[in-house]
């Protein structure tokens, strides 16, 4: 867990990258996209990239990325990578895990 | 589901290739349905699953996938290799696909709701990859340790079983036994979702020896044995030991082979025993069981056949030395590679390990005869029933290879020879009993054939004599006093000989007497005849004289008559 000061530094220096894995345009998928965007907009302004990946179109990705639960969010940058499953409806918990 | 002959629906079965298991379940696991296999760590559930998948791909034309939560593909290969399965080749041939689900619970966090759609997508992809009909998920319960939302996992597991059934996939899911092992349920209650077939595997330690057991907890729509079945895991695969003798349909040989003891062959209808049959020799200590076993392997080696002598009591050198004392040179056959003598300590391993070792040896040596000396050494760990099962399995194994087996069994002093071996007598073809006959302060050995399937045999008890010139079966004295052996027999024989002599002499005496009488009589007849002859001559002479006088008188009368006229 990083300190608050470190987080501020990270926020300023680097671009945040997220991968959001979903399966089709289900309400839960849409919910996850909306929740992640909301958190990022509020805390990271424009300093982030969000890639939404539909695993149902390419199931082998689930195998490569070791994903079984959906939605799954991977924070690729900053390192180390963080993995969260769920639609992020528990926003505070999501922020804590992703250290946003 | 298939239609049976009378039109009712019957559950179709998917053979597992686990020897013995398919017999006790009437064909294997329920086809197109999920089965739960659970047990403690190391109980063999993963290997059971792998055998099921590999058997489908190799022998049933049903490709399969393995979803592994715990072991990497490399670890699975090694595991499968330990039971003689080559997973890599099957994977290369696109008959089997493995998906390893690697999850570190520490790196995973949850925020909000989710489902396991990713798992379903992966399953679908891997099944499509090899067009699988069989699935193994090992262990499904890992989901409960990866994810914290039990409500979600439960709902998804229900969905998974529906999903598998819709696709008509024959599935094994594995589970860990709960903390309360006596309750025989899984840790997270997986059995609640499986209505078709539940199997419990147990790895129990008794008397410091582990035994694996299998029990069918539930098998809907199918009759099944409710017993616990011991099972073995070896490089020959997984073997369940069913109570009934399996595979009684092996080919039987009409060829007869010598026991190595001509007198015994003679008792067995003159030709010895059938090749591929099983012979039980039982007797008390020191009655010569091992010797018979040694003659048996010796005879096989002399026929240029391979023989295996497995001893649970003596070392190979001890056996060779002991047999030299009765004139058997086993060492020369050992040197030639025809004979192999192996010694195991019965208490060294568990029963199943012994069975594996013995089967392994037989597999490796491929002998034509096998001697086990003595089988009841196993009874040291009290589980007579398990011993019987083991011997039954071993007998079946030996018979299926057309190997002639000889089992030697030691009977305790106070026990009745014929009763103690009842446990195994039903599985042997020929049963020969050796017993001490105590008489006149001596112990002598007696041998008789209690049963011998398929050919006629002697009902005699023979005296069994060991000397440095080998083994002889002597016809015992059978008289009104019963069977006599040893010096009692010799005394009896001597007595008889004496009597014989006396009779002979008496007859000779009488014959002489008769001869004398006849000679005397003949002499008397001679004398009488001579007298008679003498008398006859005398009388004839007198008659002659009288006739002469008569004729003289006639002459005189004639002369007087002439003178007057």
Kindly report, residue by residue over A2-57, the tens digit of the pLDDT: 555 455 545 556 788 999 999 988 889 999 999 999 988 888 888 888 999 999 99
Nearest to A85 among B101, B102, B110 (CB): B110
The answer to whether residues B351 and B432 belong to one domain is yes
Phi and psi of B211, rounded to 5°?
-130, 135
B145 belongs to a structural domain: yes
Q: Answer whether A68 sits within 8 Å of B114, measured CB to CB.
A: no
Q: Is A52 exposed, middle or buried (0-12, 13-18, 19+ CB in 10 A)?
A: middle
- Among A79, A62, A59, A72, smallest CA distance to A13 is for A79
**For residue B56, what pLDDT is reported?**
95
β-pair partners for B279 = B406, B430
Of the candidate ranges B241-255, B360-374, B402-416, the one whose mean pLDDT is the lowest: B241-255
Contacts of B115 in chain A (CB under 8 A): 28, 69-70
Chain B residues 398-417 within an 8 A CB cutoff of chain A: none
- Contact between residue B21 and residue B105 where contact means Cβ atoms under 8 Å apart: no
β-pair partners for B280 = B407, B431
- Determine the residue of chain A that is closest to B126 in CA distance: A60
The stretch B408-437 carries a mean pLDDT of 71
B119 touches chain A (CB under 8 A): yes
**For residue A9, what pLDDT is reported?**
46
Contacts of B126 in chain A (CB under 8 A): 63
Say how many CA atoms lie within 13 Å of B254 toward its Cβ.
0
Question: Taking the C-alpha atoms of B515, B521, B526 and B532 in order, what is their torsion angle to the nearest 10 degrees?
Answer: -170
Chain B residues 132-161 within an 8 A CB cutoff of chain A: 146-147
- Determine the residue of chain A that is closest to B116 in CA distance: A69
Q: Give ipTM to 2 decimals.
A: 0.88
Q: Answer whether A85 sits within 8 Å of B115, measured CB to CB.
A: no
Residue that is written with structure tokens 């024989």 in the block: B493
**What is the spatial distance between Cα B504 and Cα B510, in angstroms, rounded to a whole number?**
10
Distances in whole angstroms, Cα of residue B489 to Cα of each of B197, B381, B483: 67, 42, 8
The answer to whether residues B317 and B178 belong to one domain is no
Domain end point (choices B456, B475, B494): B475
B423 belongs to a structural domain: yes
- Contact between residue B392 and residue B251 where contact means Cβ atoms under 8 Å apart: no
Count other C-beta atoms under 10 Å from residue B260's C-beta. Answer: 24
Where residue B407 sits, what CATH number does that domain have? 3.40.50.300
Report residue A32 as tokens.
Answer: 């996850």
Q: Is B13 helix (H, G, I), strand (E, B) or coil?
A: strand
Q: Answer whether A83 sits within 8 Å of B108, measured CB to CB.
A: yes
Q: Is A43 helix (H, G, I), strand (E, B) or coil?
A: helix
Q: Is A17 exposed, middle or buried (0-12, 13-18, 19+ CB in 10 A)?
A: middle
- Contact between residue B437 and residue B482 where contact means Cβ atoms under 8 Å apart: no
- Determine the residue of chain B that is closest to A97 in CA distance: B109
Q: Answer whether B109 sits within 8 Å of A35, measured CB to CB.
A: no
Instruction: Select the residue from B113, B143, B163 to test the A interface by mutation, using most A Cβ atoms within 10 A.
Output: B113
Of the candidate ranges A5-14, A44-53, B275-284, B510-519, the one whose mean pLDDT is the lowest: A5-14
**For residue B421, what pLDDT is reported?**
57
Chain A residues 7-46 within an 8 A CB cutoff of chain B: 21, 23, 28, 31-32, 35
Distance spanning both ends of chain B, measured CA to CA? 162
Contacts of A56 in chain B (CB under 8 A): 117, 121
- Contact between residue B291 and residue B471 where contact means Cβ atoms under 8 Å apart: yes
Q: Is A98 helix (H, G, I), strand (E, B) or coil?
A: helix
Of the candidate ranges A92-96, B204-208, B496-500, the one whose mean pLDDT is the lowest: B204-208
- Determine the residue of chain B that is closest to A81 in CA distance: B107
Work out how many CB contacts closer than 8 A connect A with B. Answer: 91
Q: Answer whether B113 sits within 8 Å of A86, measured CB to CB.
A: yes
Phi and psi of B47, rounded to 5°?
-65, -40
Report residue A68 as tokens.
Answer: 């079984």
Q: Which CATH superfamily is domain A4-98 in?
A: Glutaredoxin (3.40.30.10)
Query: Nearest CA to CA, how far is A46 from chain B (Å)?
Result: 23
Q: Which residue has the higher pLDDT, B208 or B470?
A: B470
**What is the spatial distance between Cα B115 and Cα B72, in angstroms, rounded to a whole number?**
24
**What is the spatial distance between Cα B115 and Cα B153, in angstroms, rounded to a whole number?**
8
Domain end point (choices B441, B475, B509): B475
Report residue B292 as tokens.
Answer: 């018979």
Of the candidate ranges A47-61, B360-374, B405-419, the one whose mean pLDDT is the lowest: B405-419
Q: Answer whether B114 sits within 8 Å of A87, measured CB to CB.
A: yes
Contacts of B103 in chain A (CB under 8 A): 66, 68
Query: Nearest CA to CA, how far is B45 from chain A (Å)?
Result: 23
Enumerate the domain spans of chain A.
4-98
**What is the spatial distance between Cα B168 and Cα B219, in angstroms, rounded to a whole number?**
18
Nearest to B116 among A32, A68, A82 (CB): A68
**For residue B564, what pLDDT is reported?**
75
The stretch B495-508 carries a mean pLDDT of 80
**For residue B199, what pLDDT is reported?**
92
B223 belongs to a structural domain: no
The total number of structural domains in chain B stands at 2
Q: Is B380 left (phi over 0), alpha (psi -120 to 50) or beta?
A: alpha
Distance spanning both ends of chain A, measured CA to CA? 11
Output the pTM of the full model: 0.64
pLDDT above 60: residue B248: no
The stretch B472-482 carries a mean pLDDT of 67
Q: How many residues does chain A have?
A: 100
B124 touches chain A (CB under 8 A): yes
Q: Answer whether A56 sits within 8 Å of B114, measured CB to CB.
A: no
Domain end point (choices B153, B171, B198): B198
The answer to whether residues B159 and B261 belong to one domain is no
Q: Is B14 helix (H, G, I), strand (E, B) or coil?
A: strand
**What is the spatial distance between Cα B374 and Cα B395, in angstroms, rounded to a whole number?**
14
The answer to whether residues B275 and B357 belong to one domain is yes
The answer to whether residues B174 and B272 belong to one domain is no
**What is the spatial distance between Cα A67 and Cα A15, in angstroms, rounded to a whole number?**
24
pLDDT above 60: residue B183: no
Per-residue pLDDT tens over the stretch B133-146: 999 999 898 898 88
Q: Are strands B462-467 and B470-475 parallel, antiparallel or unpaired?
A: antiparallel
Contacts of A90 in chain B (CB under 8 A): 111-112
Domain that holds residue B59: 31-104+114-198
The answer to whether residues B285 and B186 belong to one domain is no
**What is the spatial distance between Cα A30 and Cα A23, in angstroms, rounded to a whole number?**
10
Nearest to A63 among B122, B146, B147 (CB): B122
Question: Taking the C-alpha atoms of B547, B548, B553 and B556 in order, what is their torsion angle to the nearest 10 degrees?
Answer: 150
A88 touches chain B (CB under 8 A): yes
Per-residue pLDDT tens over the stretch B24-69: 888 899 999 999 999 888 889 999 999 999 999 999 999 999 999 9
- Among A48, A61, A49, A38, smallest CA distance to B121 is for A61
């Amino acid at each position: 867990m990083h300190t608050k000061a470190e987080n501020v530094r990270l926020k300023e220096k680097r671009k945040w990258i997220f991968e959001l894995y979903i399966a089709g345009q289900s309400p839960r998928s849409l919910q996850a996209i909306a929740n992640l965007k909301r958190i990022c907009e509020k805390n990271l302004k424009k300093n982030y990239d969000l890639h939404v990946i539909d695993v149902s179109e390419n199931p082998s990705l689930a195998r490569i990325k070791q994903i079984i639960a959906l939605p799954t969010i991977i924070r690729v940058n900053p390192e180390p990578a963080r993995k969260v499953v769920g639609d992020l409806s528990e926003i505070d918990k999501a922020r804590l895990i992703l250290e946003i | 589901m298939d239609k049976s002959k009378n039109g009712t629906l019957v559950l179709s079965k998917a053979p597992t290739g686990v020897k013995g298991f398919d017999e006790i379940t009437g064909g294997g696991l329920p086809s197109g349905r999920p089965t739960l296999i659970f047990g403690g760590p190391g109980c063999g559930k993963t290997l059971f699953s792998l055998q099921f998948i590999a058997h489908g791909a190799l022998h049933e034309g049903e490709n399969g996938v393995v979803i592994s939560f715990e072991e990497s593909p490399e670890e699975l290969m090694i595991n499968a290799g330990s039971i003689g399965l080559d997973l890599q080749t099957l994977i290369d041939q696109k008959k089997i696909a493995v998906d390893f689900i690697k999850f570190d619970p520490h790196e995973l966090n949850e925020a909000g709701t989710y489902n396991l759609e990713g798992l379903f997508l992966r399953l679908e992809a891997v099944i499509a990859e090899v067009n699988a009909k069989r699935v193994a998920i090992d262990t499904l319960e890992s989901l409960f340790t990866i994810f914290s939302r039990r409500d979600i996992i439960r709902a998804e597991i229900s969905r998974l079983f529906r999903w598998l059934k819709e696709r008509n996939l024959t599935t094994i899911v594995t589970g860990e036994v709960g903390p309360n092992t006596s309750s025989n349920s899984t840790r997270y209650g997986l059995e609640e979702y499986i209505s078709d077939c539940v199997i419990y595997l147990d790895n129990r330690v008794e008397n410091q020896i582990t035994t694996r057991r299998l029990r069918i907890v539930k098998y809907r729509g199918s009759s099944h044995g409710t017993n616990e079945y011991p099972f073995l895991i070896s490089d020959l695969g997984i073997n369940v030991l069913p109570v009934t003798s399996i595979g009684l349909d092996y080919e039987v040989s009409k060829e007869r082979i010598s026991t190595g003891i001509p007198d015994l062959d003679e008792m067995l209808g003159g030709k010895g025993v059938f090749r591929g049959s099983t012979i039980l020799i039982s007797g008390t200590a020191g009655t010569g069981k091992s010797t018979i076993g040694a003659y048996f392997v010796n005879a096989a080696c002399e026929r240029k056949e391979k023989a295996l002598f497995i001893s649970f009591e003596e070392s190979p050198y001890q056996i060779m030395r002991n047999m030299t004392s009765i004139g058997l040179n086993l060492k020369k056959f050992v040197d030639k590679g025809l004979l192999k003598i192996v010694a195991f300590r019965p208490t060294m391993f568990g029963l199943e390990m012994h069975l594996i070792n013995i089967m392994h040896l037989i597999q490796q040596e491929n002998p034509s005869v096998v001697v086990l000396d003595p089988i009841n050494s196993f009874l040291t760990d009290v589980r007579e029933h398990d011993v019987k099962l083991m011997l039954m399995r071993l007998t079946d194994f030996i018979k299926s290879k057309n190997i002639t087996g000889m089992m030697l069994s030691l009977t305790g002093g106070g026990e009745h020879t014929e009763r103690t071996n009842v446990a195994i007598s039903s599985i042997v073809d020929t049963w020969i009993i050796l017993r001490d006959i105590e008489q006149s302060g001596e112990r002598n050995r007696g041998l008789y054939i209690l049963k011998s399937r398929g050919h006629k045999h002697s009902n005699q008890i023979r005296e069994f004599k060991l000397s440095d010139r080998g083994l002889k079966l002597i016809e015992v004295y059978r008289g009104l006093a019963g069977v006599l052996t040893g010096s009692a027999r010799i005394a009896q024989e001597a007595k008889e000989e004496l009597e014989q002599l006396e009779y002979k002499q008496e007859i000779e005496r009488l014959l002489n007497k008769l001869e004398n009488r006849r000679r005397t009589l003949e002499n008397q007849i001679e004398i009488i005849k001579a007298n008679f002859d003498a008398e006859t001559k005398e009388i004839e002479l007198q008659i002659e004289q009288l006739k002469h006088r008569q004729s003289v008188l006639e002459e005189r009368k004639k002369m007087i008559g002439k003178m007057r006229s």
